[in-house]
Structure 1
């Protein structure tokens, strides 16, 4: 009898172990799928060697101040750097050897764009979408080891993509079991005490991250304690204003950047006592009253702010008419895993911003329109205050969150910023010089000694920000991608996506 008990116990244990292993791999596969990891790789991801030496002739070059163009300029590019800029430069290297000449045809040469708030997740094909849209730098705001690996591959020339500034995934505080699950499936850095958070920050610095991110769900105690350890580790602290924190806490937390203007709207909402569709006018008055003082304090503390206006502006449409919202965006370039999944989804039945059927009662459409319309208005008011006080604004899109298509979303963000009151030169600075200064990277200007991350436009973006889309060529680390090549990158991504779809999206195109 004892043998049978022993056999049953062993069999039960083996069954449990096999079940646990099966569940583990099933969850891992599902997580990989929903973050876009199962999508077929595009065929143009392989990197290229730098073109060693060439002269870009007859360009209109954006001046260092970013407010006008210098006509008839030649730009000498060698080994990924801008070597010389001037009129009628000789097409010879220092040894007198002739170098190739590329005719810019009088087009407008500007620094490559930076999207200061993106989520690559596991969607490697997005790297090509950024380049095809002139985005030569991105700040990955939920970075994990794979993104550090991609960064190394890009830096070595083995992978084609924009330069990556990798912010470690969010620091967050949850209970033990919930923290285990969220840390596993959402790849967050779960911390429970200031001491543990300090140790984690040191680990992240050693791994090679550029910054650490506060989430909405990190405890106030940890939030206020983590700034100094981050600074000592050589990392910037940026991200959200935690829900447990207030605006005074922000100014005491040594946070150098806030990842959304929306974060200030949320903080003011908490101070206001709760904004609803019924008290929207009162809330807007509250924002107008305290906005100037808030902007002064943000400026005094040297805190930069990422914009993410376009996504907030899209909420009303996504909630009321998701079909029309999808029709307005090039979703054929979206990773199908992200587009179709129930967790990250964009499509009508899974859209993360949809209004559930149980709430679609009475005057729900009117309430949604009022609430989210005022919400967007509040962030636009704050943007105007920040700009007027000289707060550094960094153009960012929250790319890969519905309905922000990587690369394409930045041009939509530019238009949202202009609509909110910024001038075209101010917007261009927010995607070039401002983020370069914040990251302390040698990009953001067309200047000798700077990295040759550039965009050649057919039209003048200082006159009309829509000209940001008129891309003739992109230069990434000196490597020139002409219009034909950029179109090939886009087609490569679209083809990979089409081969990976489980849902027909033709009705949204």
Structure 2
């Protein structure tokens, strides 16, 4: 009997140690994979080393975008005193204590705003936004307070764009995997309306700017809606599959994160995707066109803001049908290697792991169906965007940067060009990335006027003539800090270097010559 007891003690003791070691190993592996896929393993560029001018700055002889964004005022002088625009007008005597910058032949606009990004844990992405003239961003996901820390750093003077931080994505799910992810991941799942209300109160106390609905069930969608009103914190994000357009209009949701959320709701009203693809696409598009203006009017009446992200879908089509060519066309050298390469828990952007890449698209029929799907989807989103513009809906330019194929910073210029290609005039397009977005964020920037925050971009070409000139950046001013072209180029160089140091997979074959 003694031997049996001794054996059992030894057996269970050994089993306990083995299980403990296995648990530690699994947790370590999960954590290391999470660090990889979120970009946390990549070398972080130190923004404090960049040379900026700050204090009293005068820019003279420059064309300035008017406060209503409809014209360029020639030969203006602008005085920046610390973080504030002190004066805009015709040439005047500039005090001796101002650093003078000659803006002859150049154009001054407000800093650009991307109203929908996903930086994961890639802090270098924030510098990519600055290098592209983007001085304010709205993050549509959370990592247990990390972005709140970044937001505070920006407010306290670090060389970063200003951040608007939404808590989320908020999901309802009762399966085991989702519950585990909810306990380990950045945001819990929302299956209990009482707990949902309590969590909203916690998010409010933590200082989040908004609540991002994603895939909530109907009960918890309205629980978030009620709580957002009670605690005075905006409810934004997706129109979750469990709710209808009428539910949206009855809720406290004040922003929709993508134009596509409305087109997807219309798919559901039409009868679902199985009734659309692949034989009834024309009927669905006709249904959408017939109802688009009335829906846009309701959204306008409810004062709901819509973030665009319309350029995501042509990019998705290209990744689906010809991924390697697409990767060669994008700024792949600036993408955080962890995000680009992915992990066992999350796909990356490269062949073999890209979530848009469809293995069924290897034959004529698969390619035909893929083209029908994407062409219908793209046309629906484009038609809905035009309806929003016709009916005065508050549109803000967003990109979904961080998702496959959407490069931080660079993608906003693609988004603006897409909007212009739809037929929207350049003044309207600029509004989406400046005035409209600043108003939605509650920002003091976004307009060229005295007393406004000095978030500015100096361009080498007039964006009212060609919206593509937003890419042609001479200098950026973020909260009064002036970065000239040489410093912007240094930012880009150091990010390329950091990425090259951190790669596990070479991207040489995708780099343009």
Confirm or deny that 1:498 pairs with 2:476: no
Q: 5 Å matches for 1:87-166? A: 87-92=90-95, 98-144=97-143, 145-157=145-157, 159-166=158-165
Q: 5 Å matches for 1:311-322? A: 311-322=312-323
Conserved 8 A contact 2:270-2:287: yes
Confirm or deny that 1:250 pairs with 2:248: yes
Q: 5 Å matches for 1:214-253? A: 214-215=213-214, 217-253=215-251
Conserved 8 A contact 1:225-1:253: no
4+ long deviations beyond 6 Å: 47-50
Q: Spell out, residue by residue over 1:139-185, the C-alpha distance to the aligned partner (whole angstroms, 9 max, x if none).
A: 0100231111111112112x321100011121111116323332256
Aligned partner of residue 502 in structure 2, secondary structure: coil
Aligned partner of residue 506 in structure 2, secondary structure: coil
Conserved 8 A contact 2:51-2:483: no
| Distance in 2, Cα, partners of 1:64 & 1:351 | 43
Mean CA deviation greater in 335-344 or 345-354: 335-344
1:371 pairs, out of 370, 373, 379, with 373
What is the TM-score when the length of structure 2 is the normalising length? 0.95
Q: 5 Å matches for 1:162-181? A: 162-175=161-174, 177-181=176-180
Q: 5 Å matches for 1:436-451? A: 436-451=438-453
Q: What is the CA distance between 1:188 and its match in structure 2? A: 2.7
Q: What is the CA distance between 1:3 and its match in structure 2? A: 3.4
| Distance in 2, Cα, partners of 1:285 & 1:408 | 34
Aligned partner of residue 114 in structure 1, secondary structure: strand
| Distance in 1, Cα, partners of 2:50 & 2:267 | 47
Q: What is the CA distance between 1:493 and its match in structure 2? A: 0.4
Q: Spell out, residue by residue over 1:38-71, the C-alpha distance to the aligned partner (whole angstroms, 9 max, x if none).
A: 1111244657787121211122111111101111
Conserved 8 A contact 1:344-1:401: no
Confirm or deny that 1:15 pairs with 2:18: yes
Distance 1:384 1:103, change over 3 A: same
Conserved 8 A contact 2:117-2:137: yes
2:489 pairs, out of 484, 487, 490, with 487
Q: What is the CA distance between 1:362 and its match in structure 2? A: 5.0
Q: 5 Å matches for 1:276-295? A: 276-295=277-296
Aligned partner of residue 457 in structure 2, secondary structure: strand
Q: 5 Å matches for 1:59-70? A: 59-70=62-73
| Distance in 2, Cα, partners of 1:81 & 1:362 | 59
Q: What is the CA distance between 1:135 and its match in structure 2? A: 0.4
| Distance in 2, Cα, partners of 1:182 & 1:147 | 20
Mean CA deviation greater in 39-48 or 223-232: 39-48
Aligned partner of residue 164 in structure 1, secondary structure: strand
| Distance in 2, Cα, partners of 1:42 & 1:310 | 29
| Distance in 2, Cα, partners of 1:56 & 1:189 | 49
What is the TM-score when the length of structure 1 is the normalising length? 0.95
1:190 matched residue in structure 2:
189
Distance 1:13 1:410, change over 3 A: same
Confirm or deny that 1:386 pairs with 2:385: no
Aligned length, in residue pairs: 502
Q: 5 Å matches for 1:399-418? A: 399-418=401-420
Conserved 8 A contact 1:457-1:471: yes
Conserved 8 A contact 1:395-1:414: yes
Gaps of 5+ in 2: none
Q: Provide the alpha-carbon RMSD of the alignment.
A: 1.6
Q: Spell out, residue by residue over 1:117-157, the C-alpha distance to the aligned partner (whole angstroms, 9 max, x if none).
A: 00010111111110000000000100231111111112112
Conserved 8 A contact 1:147-1:166: yes
Q: What is the CA distance between 1:278 and its match in structure 2? A: 2.0
1:72 pairs, out of 72, 75, 87, with 75
Q: What is the CA distance between 1:198 and its match in structure 2? A: 1.0
| Distance in 2, Cα, partners of 1:149 & 1:447 | 30
| Distance in 2, Cα, partners of 1:106 & 1:50 | 21
